[in-house]
Amino acid sequence: MKPPITPDAEHATLMIATPLEELAGADTRHDIRLDSCRELEWIAVRTRNSTYELIVLSGDTGEVMVRGGEFFKEFTRATVSGSILGRTAVKLRTIRAGCHLELRVDGTPFVTSRVARVSRCRIPLAEGAE
């Protein structure tokens, strides 16, 4: 029978709380805050496991149409709760690489795998349009 392991001064492990900003990927330059988006702006979200397309209906409320992943084969109305890490909300109505994206559809939460990349999609205007 092995004796229980107890840390001594030489082998003690120091546990330091890591700030959420660091855990979530400190580079916030590529965050997309929905309140900075125009109505009908298109956002592409690539997670570890899936790709999602979001069309912003209201950036202030987080309302979007979402398509992608296992559950959203067709565009579905949803609300972006925000980016989370574990059970902690990191940024409300924000999409951040390194975090999970939480969406709500009819009150039911859906959490994606970690976001690898997020980008605003530029849709070219038709010729002659302004």
pLDDT digit string, tens, across residues 54-113 = 999 999 999 999 999 999 999 999 999 999 987 776 789 999 999 999 999 999 999 999
Q: What is the 3-state secondary structure (H, E, C) of the chain?
A: CCCCCCCCCCCCCCCCCCCHHHHCCCCCCCCEEHHHCCCCCEEEEEECCCEEEEEEEECCCCEEEEEECCCEEEEEEEEEEEEEECCEEEEECEECCCCEEEEEECCEEEEEEEEEEEEEECCCCCCCCC
Residue type, 4: P
Band (pLDDT 50/70/90 cuts) for residue 125 is low
**Pairwise CA distance, residues 5 & 1, whole Å:** 12
Q: How many CB atoms lie under 10 A from the CB of residue 3?
A: 5
Whether the pLDDT of residue 26 is over 60: the answer is no
When pLDDT is averaged across residues 109-130 and rounded to a whole number, the result is 81
